[in-house]
Structure 1
Amino acid sequence: MRVCFFAPVSNRRMLEHAEYYKQDIDILRELGFDVTIATSWSEIPWTADFYFVWWWTWAFLPILKARLHKRPVLITGTFDYRWPIPGYDYHSRPEWQKSILRLSLRLSSANVFVSQLEYLGVTGGLGIKNGYYVPHVLNTDLYSEGIGERDDIVLTVAGLQKPSAERKCVHEIIRCVPFVRARHPSVRFTIAGEHGSAYAELQTLARKLKVDDVLSFPGVIPRDCKIRLMQQCKVYLQPSVYEGFGVAILEAMSCGAAVVSNPVGAVPEVVGDAGLLVEGRSPEILASVVNRLLSDAPLRRDLGRRARERVKTLFSFERRKSALERIIRDIFASR
């Protein structure tokens, strides 16, 4: 059976770099589908038996072709239903965009949300009946604990486009570096992620604060390098204004890192009691909790152990595979 996997990305390398795309492609292939990958209208086949779509925003493109031949469509991803600040969520969109999103929700055979927060918000707020909750997951054999002592590294993974850098509080992370270095002069900070529109100003800020010698921006790094950093860092630091899930947080947890974030969006669902979720995102607050972890090796080890166990128990690859297999089977059985 032929399935079209559609994700509207500008660079096809994202399908390998972003774990959530890759894992769903792998799942579809393991379920026996012949997978055709499309990233634009012209690449979407007219004759697929089933359409697996990432993101509701552009789902109307494959839906048009699917509806013509009466083929089923499954849509998944983060919906961004309601943010704590206006400007980026569903409610802040123009009415015509909201209408398209609602139409995609109604015309799809299944809407698969990656967090309970969004599942409850969208199904309750918009009256969607064909909603499912299936979280992001990881291959915990691949994202494994490291061996030996961890290095004096505080790691963050975040894209450095302005909206992403602001949402993930990258400026505040840089401003916290001097406060951490005052207590732990050997520590180094790494902020990995695509060099986007905020990169130049972040570099300028680091130079202004005289921390550019202990702060690196390696850009997009291969998966094996990312895993190695997550296995080696003493603290994984990802404050945030909002997270529809928090995949990088989950990855760091699976690698046994001590995680620091904020109790926003779906982060509490992911982290539970296996990390430190702090109220506030000021440089002083971030530095205080990072310093606490750097000074307390038993606490770091305990959080890392609990984090890995939580991922293995709640977010294993097999969980999403089994859930998607069941949903797809039910879609075809009901036709």
Structure 2
Amino acid sequence: MRVGFDAHMVGQHETGNETYALGLLSGLDAAGFPVDAYAFTRTPAGIHRFHRTGPRQSYLRIPITNPLLAARDKLDLFHATYVIPPVMPCACVVTVHDITYALFPDWFAPRVRGMLQIMVPLALRHAARIVTISEHTKGDLITHYGIDPGKIAVSYLAPRPAFADRLASIRSEGPFLLYVGNVEPRKNVETVIRALAVLRDRKLEVPLKIVGKPGYHYEVTVRLVQSLRLSHLITFLGYVPDDRLRQLYASCTALVHPALYEGFGLTPLEAMVQGTPVIAAATSSVPEVVGNAAILVEPESIEAWIEALERLLGSAEERERLSRLGLERVKSFSWRRCAEQTIQAYREALR
């Protein structure tokens, strides 16, 4: 079986998509399953065969370049994320992380939303097999598109290789909460900020460090912090390198993960690797991922966040309990396991 994998997102800082591509390739390497990977730039190949692809314009690369590469390399199967060519000389597998573009269209720019609403359903219909990253996303595909459950495989993600091991030593930075993610409406960090304002008024001041690229809601969030007079407590760090983020995971008092919707929710797992307690929104796939190893709250309830924060910050025993549960929970996830589940989907696609 010769499999081609569309790795165009590698090196392009596409956050979740790039994480998935690099993690899956590392897992396939560990499983001894080489693929032909197509990317814009060379990356460490391991056992894989890397080829340059192009152009960068997806409207040319997807329908023209990808079929030509599949024919040239005599592929049996081609694996892409979200969108596959309308015509291919081989079978296709498509990975869909989530369908937020369909469930929450207001979160997307009109051009991006329109393209996904057309192209993803076509890919779901034409693919021989669909891979999702959570049972929740599988359920969304069944409910929204009427996909046959037997056509969908679930393959869980895992912490990125750079975050897979616990730090041996931690540089203390004082007590603080950590949020990791883009600053945009669906990430819901504003609810946590409002909860911190109430706690401040109750004489409990808790610093919050926000890590992530400024999304289109960034300026609104900054103005909220200023209007609530929290600038002395809340720091916007923007993008930070992996080694710095790993240190932040390890040294924070807790990770807050208030997202309204996640296809998977990798950030809580990466914090758990460091033994960090997690408070997360009880929504979409997050409960499926964290199990009983986090405090789960209603995402938009300020009072629920206040109660969870007071519970965690006021009890060393609770923090230790969550740390222990998190360290155990994260053992359930690995890129090799993800790869093995994906290989099984490949085999089923070619039956």
Instruction: Give the TM-score normalised by structure 1.
Output: 0.81
Task: Tell me, in whole angstroms, the C-alpha distance in 2 between the residues paired with 1:201 and 1:82.
Answer: 22
The verdict on how the C-alpha distance between 1:12 and 1:85 changes in structure 2, with shifts beyond 3 A counting, is: closer
Match of 1:155 in 2: 178
Does structure 1 residue 12 correspond to structure 2 residue 32? no
Cα deviation for residue 114 of structure 1 reads 0.9
The verdict on how the C-alpha distance between 1:18 and 1:232 changes in structure 2, with shifts beyond 3 A counting, is: farther
Match of 1:113 in 2: 132
Aligned 8 A contact 1:252 1:259 in 2? yes
Aligned 8 A contact 2:283 2:299 in 1? no
SS in 2 for 1:63: coil
The verdict on how the C-alpha distance between 1:280 and 1:321 changes in structure 2, with shifts beyond 3 A counting, is: closer
Does structure 1 residue 122 correspond to structure 2 residue 141? yes
Match of 1:219 in 2: 238
Match of 1:34 in 2: 36
Instruction: Give the TM-score normalised by structure 2.
Output: 0.78
Task: Tell me, in whole angstroms, the C-alpha distance in 2 between the residues paired with 1:175 and 1:123.
Answer: 36
Residue among 280, 283, 294 paired with 2:302? 283
Q: Which residue identity is paired with 2:80?
A: V
The verdict on how the C-alpha distance between 1:140 and 1:303 changes in structure 2, with shifts beyond 3 A counting, is: farther
Task: Tell me, in whole angstroms, the C-alpha distance in 2 between the residues paired with 1:183 and 1:115.
Answer: 40
SS in 1 for 2:166: coil
| Larger relative contact order (Cα-Cα within 8 Å, sequence gap ≥ 6) | 2
Does structure 1 residue 47 correspond to structure 2 residue 49? no
SS in 1 for 2:141: helix
Note the alpha carbon deviations across 1:191-232, whole angstroms, 9 max, x for none: 111112222222222122221122111112222222221111
Aligned 8 A contact 1:29 1:35 in 2? no
Alignment RMSD, CA only?
3.2
Aligned 8 A contact 1:17 1:223 in 2? no
Does structure 1 residue 132 correspond to structure 2 residue 132? no
| Structure 1: segments with no counterpart, 5+ residues | none
Note the alpha carbon deviations across 1:121-145, whole angstroms, 9 max, x for none: 4236513342111112225783333
Does structure 1 residue 247 correspond to structure 2 residue 266? yes
Match of 1:200 in 2: 219
The verdict on how the C-alpha distance between 1:25 and 1:320 changes in structure 2, with shifts beyond 3 A counting, is: same
Match of 1:322 in 2: 340
Aligned 8 A contact 1:83 1:242 in 2? no
Q: Which residue identity is paired with 2:22?
A: K
Task: Tell me, in whole angstroms, the C-alpha distance in 1 between the residues paired with 2:313 and 2:102.
Answer: 32
| Structure 1 stretches of 4+ moved >6 Å | 81-86, 93-97
Does structure 1 residue 21 correspond to structure 2 residue 40? no
Does structure 1 residue 76 correspond to structure 2 residue 95? yes
Identity among equivalent positions (%) equals: 23
Cα deviation for residue 47 of structure 1 reads 2.1
Q: Which residue identity is paired with 1:277?
A: L
Task: Tell me, in whole angstroms, the C-alpha distance in 1 between the residues paired with 2:314 and 2:177.
Answer: 13
Task: Tell me, in whole angstroms, the C-alpha distance in 2 between the residues paired with 1:15 and 1:51.
Answer: 22
Q: What does residue range 164-203 of structure 1 map to in structure 2 within 5 Å?
A: 165-181=184-200, 182-185=202-205, 187-203=206-222
Aligned 8 A contact 1:140 1:311 in 2? no
Name the count of aligned residue pairs: 315
Match of 1:143 in 2: 164
Cα deviation for residue 99 of structure 1 reads 5.9
SS in 2 for 1:245: coil
Note the alpha carbon deviations across 1:83-112, whole angstroms, 9 max, x for none: 8877569xxx99996564333112112100
- Between 266-275 and 117-126, report the one with greater CA deviation: 117-126
| Structure 2: segments with no counterpart, 5+ residues | 40-52
Match of 1:3 in 2: 4
Q: Which residue identity is paired with 2:6?
A: F
Task: Tell me, in whole angstroms, the C-alpha distance in 2 between the residues paired with 1:290 and 1:258.
Answer: 11
Note the alpha carbon deviations across 1:152-202, whole angstroms, 9 max, x for none: 110111212xxxx222212222222233344443x3211111112222222
Q: Which residue identity is paired with 2:122?
A: L
Aligned 8 A contact 2:132 2:154 in 1? yes
Task: Tell me, in whole angstroms, the C-alpha distance in 2 between the residues paired with 1:323 and 1:292.
Answer: 38
